[in-house]
Chain A
Amino acid sequence: MAGTSDWELRELADADVPSLLACQRASFGERAKTAEQLRWAAGPPGTSQRAVVAVRDCRVVAACAGIPARTWVGGEERTCVQLVDLMVHPDERGGLAGGRLYRGVAAAFFELYGAQGGDAVHYGWPIPAARRLGERYLEYAFVREELVLVRSLEGELAEAPEAVEVLEDFGEDLRWLWDRCTTDFAAATVRDAAWARWRFLQRPGVDYLALGVRRGGHLRGLAVLRTTAWDWPGVLPLVDWLVPSAEPEVADLLEAAVARAARRAGAERVATLVPPTHAAFAGLQERGWCARPSPYTLFLRSFTAGIDADLWRDGAWLTLADTDLA
C-alpha cells in the first residue's frame, strides 16, 4: 500500500495492536477500545478484519477500521462494512499534514477493501467534523438523518406475555426467521446464529437480553434489549427487532415484553432505530413509540453500481445492532 516518506500505510498486523490501542486512548480517551474489544470488532464469523494503519517509526499515527458484515443485497451475499474508527493521533493533527494523513488512511482503506477488495459499501454515522471531511474529500454520500423511536415506560404496562421467552442462545431458526423477513428488505445483514452469538453474546463489556416468540417450535420474532447502561441517561436501547411485518400479533407480544424488561432493568424509556420507510417504524408508533431527532446521520460510500445511498435509504434494514452505538 502507498504511503509517503513520512509514514507507511498498511493493513493492521498483530504487532501493531499495542500501538493502535495507544493511538485509540490518545484519540478517544475513555471511549478507546480495549484489546478484547478490538478483537471483537474484527467482525463476526465468516468475515475478515477491515483495518488500515498509518505507521511512522513503528508507531501507529492514524487508523481506519470497520466492522464487516455478511449482507444480503442485490440478490446476493456481499460484505458491507460499518466504519467505526477513523482517527489521527492528536499529536499529528492540524495543518496540511494532519489532513493529508486523515485522508490518506481513509483512502487506503476504501481502496484496499472497497475498490479492490469487493466490499459492496462502507457506511457509518460519523461525528459532524468527520462527516464534513468525508463529504468533501472521501465521497461520502448522505443517506438520512436518523430518527429514533422512543417509548416512555411511565404508567401502567401490559402484563409480561407468557408466550415470550428469554433466548440464552441462538439456533438455526434465527436464520429461518431472518429469511422470512427479507421480503421486506432491499439489503440487510444476514442474521444467523453465528452472527447473533458474536453480536449479542460475545461483545465484551455489554450485556443484552434476547427475547423471542416461538410457535410450532419455530422462532417467529426476536427483540434484543441492551441491559448494560447506555450513553443516554435513563434510556435502554432496543438494539434489534426482527418480526415479519405480516405478523403484528408477534410484534405486540415482543413489544410488551421489551417494555417490562426495560423497566425491570431500571430504565425510564426505551429507544430504538429502525428505517423510517419500513413497516416496523409505523408499527412501533402504533404501540406508543414516538419519533425524535437524533444526533446520528447515516452516510455511505458505494463501490458497486446500483448499491448506493438511494438503495440504502429506500430499503436497507438497519437497526442499532448494525452499529457499534449500542
Chain B
Amino acid sequence: MPSTSRASSVSAAPVSAASVRPLRVEDQDALLAAFNGCFAASDPGFVARTAAEWRWRFVQNPAGRRATLALDDEGAVLAQYAGLPQRALVEGVAATLTQGIDSFCVPRARALGRRGAFVAAGERFAADYGGAPGAGDPWMWGLPVRAARRIGERALGYVPFRAQVRLELAGPLRASATDLSLREAPWSELDELAPELDGLNARQAERCGAFALRDAPALAWRYAAHPSRRYRLVVATRHNGELAGFAVLGVGRFEDSEGLLWCDGLHDPEAEPALVEFAADLAAREGHARLVALLPPWCESFTSLQGLGFRVRGGRTLWVGRSYTGALPLEFWRERWFYTLGDTDLV
C-alpha cells in the first residue's frame, strides 16, 4: 500500500497486462529495473533499491513473500503489488499480517479511470494472500501516498482508519528510580535471549488483540540482518537475570522528526521508565535532539510515555487497512492491534 508511484501522465493508450502472477526469485533483475526506474521518475531524492535490499525483503524474510506482478506479453514488468508479511498472534492464534509496500505501476500501463495493471495486480494479491487466519492474511495495512490511497480506496478495499500521531521526547525526562539492569546487547545474543523473548511475547499477547511477534527470528531478520541500516538492542533485566524488556533504537527521520528512533520493543510495565531513561541518555550523549516513538493511541504506553515527558505530535500520513475476515472487523484492528515504528518499512 505505501510508497506507490503513479507520477506523470500517459499520452498513448495504456498497455494491458498479459499475465498476472506471483513474484519469483528469478524476477529480481527485471523487477528491480522497473521499480528503480518508476520511483526515480517520480521522486528526485529516490535512492535506487539494491539487490541486497530486495533479497532481504522478498527472499530472506522468515515470514515469507507477498508480491504479485503484472507483465506485458513480452514478460516486462508493468506493475507490482507487494507486501512485507509478519508472523503474528491474533487473539492468541498464529496468523500472518502484511504491510503493503513497494507497489508501483510503470507509466505506460497506467489507465486513468479504468482497471489497469496496478489494480489487476492488487486484486490478484488480495485473492492469493488475503483471508481468515489459516486461509490467508487477515489484516493488510499500509501508509500509502495520497494518489495510491485514492486508487486503493476506489478499487482495492482500502479503508483509512488512523491519521498518524507520533510521540516525541524533546525535553527533560521524568524518570523514576529503577532496580533493573540496563545494557546495550550485541545482536548475536538473540539466540540466548530467545526463551525469554518468547515469554515477553506471551505477556504482550495478553495486553492486546493482535501484534507481530518480536521473537528471536523476527528480530534477527528485521534488525540484525538489515542490509543498510544499523540498530541497537537495549535489554532490561531483573536482579535474578530475567528479561524485563527490550528496546530497539536507530537513528533516522520519521515524518518531520529527526533523532533517535524508538523502533521497537516489548517490556513489562515496570521496565518502561528504565528503558526510556537509557534511550534518552543515549540520545543526549550522541547529540540527538529528540527521541521519537510510534504507538497506537489505545495502548497503555501511549499514555504512560506522556507521563515520562513525551509529547504527542500530529502527522499527515493516513493509515489504511483491509480486514479479510468478518470476525475481525476494522474496529478490532483500530482498537486492539499493537505496532511500533519497526512494523513499518519507514525506519
Contacts and interface: CB of A to CB of B under 8 A. Distances in A.
B162 interface: yes
B318 to A, nearest CB: 8
A39 to B, nearest CB: 35
B331 interface: yes
Contact of A291 (B163, B297, B315, B331): B297
Contacts of B49: none
A278 B318 CA distance: 17
Contacts of B175: none
Given A128-B331, A145-B334, A147-B297, A291 B162 contact: no
A26 interface: no
Interface residues of B, number: 22
Contact of B316 (A135, A290, A293, A313): A313
B311 A285 contact: yes
Interface in A250-309: 275-278, 281-282, 285-286, 290-293
B316 A277 contact: yes
A106 B76 CA distance: 48
Interface string A117-152: 000000000001000000100000111110100000
A293 B299 CA distance: 9
A314 interface: yes
Contact of A135 (B159, B162, B303, B331): B159
Given A285-B311, A285-B312, A144 B306 contact: no
A128 B303 CA distance: 24
Contact of A145 (B163, B311, B313): B163
Contact of A293 (B163, B297, B313, B318): B297
B165 interface: yes
Interface of A is mostly: mixed
Contacts of B331: 128
Give the residue among A143, A147, A285, A291 with the most B Cβ atoms within 10 A: A291
Contacts of B316: 277, 313-314
A92 interface: no
Nearest to A292: B303
B46 interface: no
A275 B314 contact: yes
Contact of A277 (B160, B303, B314, B334): B314
Contacts of B334: 145
Contacts of A290: 303, 306-307
A233 B312 CA distance: 25
B161 interface: yes
Given A128-B331, A291-B306, A293-B297, A144 B312 contact: no
B146 interface: yes
A142 B160 contact: yes
B162 A276 contact: no
B311 A286 contact: yes
Nearest to A143: B163
Contacts of A276: 163, 165, 312-315
Contacts of A313: 163, 316, 318
Interface in B141-170: 146, 159-163, 165
Interface of A: 128, 135, 141-145, 147, 275-278, 281-282, 285-286, 290-293, 310, 313-314
Give the top 4 A-B pairs by smallest Cβ distance, nearest first: A276-B314, A144-B163, A291-B312, A142-B160
10 contacts: A141-B160, A147-B297, A276-B165, A276-B313, A276-B314, A281-B314, A286-B311, A291-B312, A292-B297, A293-B302
